[in-house]
């Protein structure tokens, strides 16, 4: 058999925590797979009950099955993948998740906060309970993850990275999603402040707007799917691997100079839809 090139696993020895790895068609799954393929050990967090509430439903193989499928797709020599399920609406869950990743793998270098609570409520239908829940999951949990990560991170380890995710609310209105866009907007706005705070720990912080990505919520051939595709400059939706390409660059040594930025990786969606 041919030898594996020495540079095949550039993230070997690094540890990643990826939140929201609940569905095989999702962005977080692609990110966890990519980082592990590059050699990082990955704790893949999930919370399937949220997907059960949504029209697309939870992955039928379950959380452990998702992690097993992910592991089965990795090449020999790739990083390890360990699954952990927890409800990030619980204020104790973020710190416990960081501690679990650190205890399992001996450190934590890459914090990829991909999780999100989706919420299709307009202003009139939004409730205090839904606003609070979106805030707890999308913003509070992300900040508590960052807080614990900063507290336990060994700054002598290379490659400290934090990546968050926003949406397109800073380009144009997103009607009917008030709790969601409010909290996604908060993550975008906190990016620069977190980047300054975590720079002392040798950690870069960036926020990604992935644009319309085909994660199973729009049926190909359906009205929504075709409308979005028609507005895209390349006439296609984004794929999870399009997002993974950017996260890979940020995670590698080459991405170590990029921090405090909101990166629109939307395939030019705002050019056609909002331009």
* Burial class of residue 186 (count of CB atoms within 10 Å of its CB; 0-12, 13-18, 19+): middle
Global pTM value: 0.94
pLDDT at 9 over 50: yes
CA dist., res. 170 & res. 187, Å (int): 12
Query: Which pLDDT does position 122 carry in this prediction?
Result: 94
Interstrand relation of 15-18 and 110-112 (parallel, antiparallel or unpaired): parallel
CATH code: domain of residue 23? 3.40.50.720
Query: Which pLDDT does position 271 carry in this prediction?
Result: 86
Query: Which pLDDT does position 168 carry in this prediction?
Result: 83
3 is a domain residue: no
Six-digit token string for 151: 């507290």
Q: pLDDT digits over 198-252, tens only?
A: 999 999 999 999 999 998 888 888 998 999 899 889 999 899 999 999 999 999 9
pLDDT at 74 over 90: yes
Best CA proximity match to 22, nearest among 53, 41, 54, 50: 50
Query: Which pLDDT does position 2 carry in this prediction?
Result: 40
pLDDT at 4 over 80: no
- The mean pLDDT value for 171-200 works out to 93
Query: Which pLDDT does position 1 carry in this prediction?
Result: 31
Q: pLDDT digits over 257-266, tens only?
A: 999 999 999 9
pLDDT at 60 over 60: yes
Strand order across the beta sheet in which 160-165 lies: 81-85, 41-46, 15-18, 110-112, 160-165, 203-209, 261-264
Provide the number of structural domains found in the chain. Answer: 1
Per-residue pLDDT band for 275 (boundaries 50, 70, 90) equals: low
73 is a domain residue: yes
Alpha helices in 200-273 (DSSP H): 223-231, 240-251, 269-273
First CA to last CA distance, the chain = 53
5 is a domain residue: no
Q: Are 164 and 184 in contact (CB under 8 A)?
A: no
8 is a domain residue: no
- Distance, CA of 144 to chain centre: 15
20 is a domain residue: yes
Alpha helices in 139-239 (DSSP H): 141-152, 178-199, 223-231
Per-residue pLDDT band for 193 (boundaries 50, 70, 90) equals: very high
10 is a domain residue: no
């Amino acid at each position: 058999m041919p030898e594996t090139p020495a540079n095949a696993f550039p993230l070997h020895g690094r540890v990643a925590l990826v939140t929201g790895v609940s569905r095989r068609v999702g962005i977080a799954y692609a990110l966890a797979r990519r980082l592990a393929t590059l050699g990082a050990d990955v704790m893949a967090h999930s919370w399937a009950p949220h997907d059960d509430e949504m029209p697309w439903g939870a992955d039928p193989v379950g959380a452990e099955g998702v992690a097993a499928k992910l592991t089965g797709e990795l090449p020999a020599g790739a990083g390890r993948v360990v699954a952990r399920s927890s409800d990030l609406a619980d204020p104790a869950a973020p710190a416990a998740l960081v501690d679990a990743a650190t205890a399992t793998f001996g450190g934590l270098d890459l914090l990829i906060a991909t999780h999100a609570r989706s919420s299709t409520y307009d202003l009139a239908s939004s409730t205090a309970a839904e606003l609070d829940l979106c805030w707890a999951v999308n913003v509070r949990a992300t900040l508590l993850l960052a807080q614990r990560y900063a507290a336990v991170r060994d700054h002598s380890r290379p490659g400290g990275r934090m990546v968050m995710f926003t949406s397109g609310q800073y380009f144009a209105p997103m009607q009917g999603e008030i709790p969601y866009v409010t909290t996604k907007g908060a993550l975008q706005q906190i990016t620069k402040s977190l980047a300054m705070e975590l720079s002392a720990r040798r950690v870069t912080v960036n926020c990604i707007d992935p644009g319309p990505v085909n994660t199973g919520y729009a049926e190909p051939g359906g009205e929504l799917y075709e409308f979005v595709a028609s507005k895209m400059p390349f006439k296609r939706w984004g794929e999870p691997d399009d997002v993974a390409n950017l996260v890979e660059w940020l995670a590698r040594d080459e991405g170590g100079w990029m921090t405090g930025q909101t990166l629109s990786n939307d395939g030019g969606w705002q050019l056609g839809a909002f331009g």
